[in-house]
Structure 1
């Protein structure tokens, strides 16, 4: 069922406002949810110190230029990087952990502020191992109360019997109203470490997400919008504002997920490869039968292996702001480092071009932040100098802050923290010189390109042409690497394989061999430079390339054109000639026949996700999807063995969100 099948008041249009906070810009777009037509769109610079400011500016502009009644906007969908960035930067509230029936191994990194472990817990079939030590638990609670912003309770095998986690929460709530996160609620996986890490990260994000969503809600209400606010999840679905504040961990990687849904909506295809070309990176993902492919192992963010359901995304450091450089053979290389395009850097400093010419250099340092918190005294001095001076060469910084020693090390530290960037030649500069894009100073781009073209023994025009070709080649190459990785588990990094992949994407790499890759589904390219860099693949490969209208705001479109989704996986394990069904939050039940076990798992999982979708607020029919996968261990040669080790039964429910 589509949104168009839902009955609506004929006097009222069904409009949605999509918001995406990208690395460079925050996009706002108003979409007719019946026909997915984009009615208005606007961009505003992303404000990292307070994302809600960039959101407010983008929304205010899209409301100003749009030809529609504000009251017709019934839903707002937000795709935000706040959870991902907070995990990457180690930000969040103070969290206490109460472990029941287990203790961490010596090499386990938990990331909590205080941890206490008490007796209790259950075994793998839900039987109690030990009585819950309530006296020790009471002592742990009293110790944590004034030290933390949230408490996580994680009991051994709580997905088989959550009684001790539930009892612990009851005891905590007698003393405080701070959030309490139970590990069995967020994931149904057995592993205590991954389950605990997921709960801890979620708890750390709760105060950040609450503050952010409160600020966003106030901004939208101040602009006169009474629409219902939904938040995009990393698995491609929507969740309510209230649920996002309880389970913020599920919004991790929502940006790439929104791009996938935006590509599907704008491209009008069910089976496709969505390629989102941004300023910093390119994200590649597959859509099958209208559903995004999810990562089996859960999202990995900032080195933390979680059990958060997220779309299977292939990300590479290849975008409009990626540095262009020459390798030892003089070959043009792109990325992965992000730099400030010369065309953009020149806008903020009137002497930048002359100094590039004078020093024959393009690698100047620029400030990317006005936030001095957490910096050493020397780092603050250097950052303050860059904020005042603008783009500066290394020796200019050394002269400007002479009391700072090891200036290069200080700059590298600031770069690692994202507080400082360097300038350089980028695909954005190439597009400026080629006349394909105009947002900065073309002369600055020409100066830098002349430097690097001379080193490669090419004219400026020849270098521009080769760089454009190489960017298209690299995107095609990464698509093929993603396909190879999905099939055999590795993509290879050898020079020979790279040459073959580049040949398959239309680059002449061999004198006596012509290769051309044929793909079984179209490419849908979104992102501002999609037309320039992805459209050429239609001629270079055997594939249809769709660059839809409004491809520059694809993420924002995806953020509001999705559905409320919930999914769960129930595990079935064979034991003693029977089959045990492990459903989260319940005691395992055994069945004599595997068919009975699968049917029971489907029934439980189906009711669970349907109830959750209904409680989130949907209208019309709820769609259900079941996947049953038999899991087998591999032998020493990587070949699956004959016997089934366990069965995964996954249920997914989807519904169209209710409007205001």
Structure 2
């Protein structure tokens, strides 16, 4: 039987990368890098078809053996940054006493995307009661005559009844114009933000439609039978048909791909992920095995686009060193790339003859205090963070960022002499400044997302992963992990990404029926986006303060066999892995029970207070999957193992035992359930009745005697 593979392609500004991954073992079979074909007749699609053909032929892989193919693209992000977008006409609608509010809510001003770059918007408003085919046609023609290339239909309360928006879209399509409606982008009330999000989406449609058609044809030309998937900004993928409707979802997808690779390939439970390049580091959060997302902004305006929460800093492998009055005072944000200088650590020692220190302005207007080392032969090299990390031994031999020791030492020795210290002391100062900058953001993210500092792992990806991550671990005391094939981690993320969909609705006090309905809708939506329904997991969240009901679905494009083929670990091996995950001695860890894929461990502890007079017994719980990966780690948590038949008895008693009762309201504990192959996150649910309603749906095909693990915590 031939080996099935997954292909990931990452289209960057400079290079297009591809990886081939074994579908069962997730091992990398091949990787390739070619220049991105911006100037080709077929655009970036030319490079995609070239790299697909080359990587298949070079590795003797049949197109019929490709189970999954996806690509990530920066095209939507670049189009917005460069202002290369279509002009948009908004046809707003509303009636009655809400008419004036609807007119204001749908009226969208030009959006400044970058300095001097605007998304042009033209507006018309009609009374919904007077809406007819002739009025729709007249309004579209007026918008078109002003310059509109794409139409957005936006009506108050269209999330409840999109009929009029659909009429406008149909009429625009008849006139061979692209069109979209506010209800297609978001199910949330909030007409102004919904309209603005639809406008940004519409502005991207013509360019992305052209690229979608070309890339889809590229895959067909390669005789690959599976459908092409595209990376989303929240770390998932979607079908190319969905890209044609909602290209906005590909915005920032390049940032999402790296953490998706760390999440899927490295099986991280709780961590901070760094994608470290030459100029900047992108920092994101993984909590309980999930990437953290938030609403994105475009041109300083809020949208309903859910994207990866990424913090970017100008600290990376190529960050330059700033020296004033013989004192090292800063690192970055300028990089050697921006200054047009080579790294000091990547040249040969023979190129540094009697090196001396000079200072430059990387760009016009920059201060002239960025240190470079100059050979008496006239060759110039920048001091970099990569050089400091290499000198101090943070970059292991064979690493992508590993440099030439002798040349690097000669350069840093010259800088040390200039500053009145050793080469090592100079490098340590540079590393300290860089790490302090990054740790400020890391600590802020840990607090913001309430991560347990005892269990946070720092995960490095990107070509300069080792330059920064190991030093951060040493300074902070956190565990450190460099992603396998770190320079290709984004491309791996594309190849291993899951299909993802999310629906948000404005619902006050959602009923059982509301929850079941949104769950069914998100499953239908994700299956349309290419997921196999058997693999779909749904998480329901209720935000009582904002009256938002959310359903988040993830699934893969086919049933993966890796978990089923994995050789079973012994209890001793599992116990060791649980101990490592919880940072405690193996002797303290107790195995509680195995339920299908899941293994529950506990390390009881006794907490003392009031000078030891008060004692409290606490659990440190850890749930491992069958591969030995920690999927949940909680201190101060409680557990119950029960059959489905005991939901109305033992489970309800368990929840009541750990519910906090007060005059204002009753606060149920956060809850996770583990059964069969599934980990069900119910932490966003705020009443026991809602939990029971979701369990009724989720456990429909679970047998009455099947065991379930419940983990609860406040």
Q: Is 1:476 aligned to 2:483, yes or no?
A: no
Question: How large is the Cα RMSD of the aligned pairs?
Answer: 3.9
Residue 296 of structure 2 corresponds to: 299
Residue 24 and residue 623 in structure 1: after superposition, are their counterparts in 2 closer, same or farther (change >3 A)? same
Residue 87 and residue 60 in structure 1: after superposition, are their counterparts in 2 closer, same or farther (change >3 A)? same
Residue 198 of structure 1 corresponds to: 197
Q: Is 1:617 aligned to 2:530, yes or no?
A: yes
Aligned positions, number: 520
Residue 360 of structure 1 corresponds to: 358
Range that drifts further, 303-312 or 216-225:
216-225
Superposed, 1:256-267 pairs within 5 Å as 256-267=255-266
Superposed, 1:138-153 pairs within 5 Å as 138-145=137-144, 147-153=147-153
Residue 476 of structure 2 corresponds to: 541
Q: Is 1:323 aligned to 2:223, yes or no?
A: no
Residue 216 and residue 468 in structure 1: after superposition, are their counterparts in 2 closer, same or farther (change >3 A)? farther
Q: Which runs of 5+ in 2 are unaligned?
A: 95-101, 112-117, 367-379, 560-714
Offset of 1:251 from its aligned partner? 0.9
Q: Distance in 1 between matches of 2:217 and 2:253?
A: 22
Residue 622 and residue 364 in structure 1: after superposition, are their counterparts in 2 closer, same or farther (change >3 A)? closer
Residue 284 of structure 2 corresponds to: 285
Structure with higher strand content: 2
Residue 618 and residue 481 in structure 1: after superposition, are their counterparts in 2 closer, same or farther (change >3 A)? closer
Compute the TM-score of the two structures, normalised by the length of structure 2. Answer: 0.64
Asked if the contact 2:530/2:557 (under 8 Å) is kept, the reply is: yes
Q: Is 1:598 aligned to 2:596, yes or no?
A: no
Q: Which runs of 5+ in 1 are unaligned?
A: 1-10, 122-129, 366-393, 395-407, 410-421, 489-516, 574-593, 633-645
Residue 613 and residue 466 in structure 1: after superposition, are their counterparts in 2 closer, same or farther (change >3 A)? same
Offset of 1:520 from its aligned partner? 2.4
Superposed, 1:48-197 pairs within 5 Å as 50-52=43-45, 55=48, 58-59=51-52, 62-63=55-56, 65-66=58-59, 68-101=61-94, 102-104=102-104, 108-110=109-111, 113-121=120-128, 130-132=129-131, 136-145=135-144, 147-174=147-174, 176-197=175-196
Q: Distance in 2 between matches of 1:107 and 1:327?
A: 48
Asked if the contact 1:566/1:652 (under 8 Å) is kept, the reply is: yes
The residue matched to 2:269 in structure 1 has which SS? coil
Picking from 508, 513, 520, the partner of 1:607 is: 520
Q: Distance in 2 between matches of 1:599 and 1:329?
A: 68
Asked if the contact 1:624/1:651 (under 8 Å) is kept, the reply is: no
Residue 468 and residue 65 in structure 1: after superposition, are their counterparts in 2 closer, same or farther (change >3 A)? farther
Residue 465 and residue 47 in structure 1: after superposition, are their counterparts in 2 closer, same or farther (change >3 A)? farther
Offset of 1:153 from its aligned partner? 1.2
Residue 568 of structure 2 corresponds to: none
Superposed, 1:495-644 pairs within 5 Å as 518-573=453-508, 594=509, 597-619=510-532, 621-632=534-545
Q: Is 1:313 aligned to 2:276, yes or no?
A: no
Superposed, 1:389-538 pairs within 5 Å as 424-430=382-388, 436=395, 453=416, 456-486=419-449, 518-538=453-473
Picking from 1, 11, 14, the partner of 1:21 is: 11
Residues 497-536 of structure 1: CA deviation (Å, up to 9, x unaligned): xxxxxxxxxxxxxxxxxxxx94423222211221232123
The residue matched to 1:235 in structure 2 has which SS? coil
Asked if the contact 1:324/1:335 (under 8 Å) is kept, the reply is: yes
Asked if the contact 2:355/2:414 (under 8 Å) is kept, the reply is: no
Residue 212 and residue 338 in structure 1: after superposition, are their counterparts in 2 closer, same or farther (change >3 A)? farther
Range that drifts further, 466-475 or 84-93:
466-475
Offset of 1:154 from its aligned partner? 1.3
Range that drifts further, 332-341 or 440-449:
440-449
The residue matched to 1:310 in structure 2 has which SS? strand
Considering Cα pairs closer than 8 Å and 6+ residues apart, tell me whether 1 or 2 has the greater RCO.
1
Offset of 1:344 from its aligned partner? 3.5
Q: Distance in 2 between matches of 1:537 and 1:81?
A: 29
Q: Distance in 1 between matches of 2:460 and 2:401?
A: 21
Q: Distance in 2 between matches of 1:37 and 1:15?
A: 10
Residue 34 and residue 24 in structure 1: after superposition, are their counterparts in 2 closer, same or farther (change >3 A)? same
Q: Distance in 1 between matches of 2:439 and 2:313?
A: 12
Residue 555 of structure 2 corresponds to: 655
Offset of 1:560 from its aligned partner? 1.8
Offset of 1:16 from its aligned partner? 0.7
Residue 56 and residue 445 in structure 1: after superposition, are their counterparts in 2 closer, same or farther (change >3 A)? farther
Residue 551 and residue 441 in structure 1: after superposition, are their counterparts in 2 closer, same or farther (change >3 A)? closer
Residue 168 and residue 331 in structure 1: after superposition, are their counterparts in 2 closer, same or farther (change >3 A)? same
Asked if the contact 1:343/1:440 (under 8 Å) is kept, the reply is: no
Offset of 1:456 from its aligned partner? 3.7
Offset of 1:459 from its aligned partner? 4.4
Asked if the contact 2:320/2:383 (under 8 Å) is kept, the reply is: yes
Asked if the contact 2:326/2:418 (under 8 Å) is kept, the reply is: no
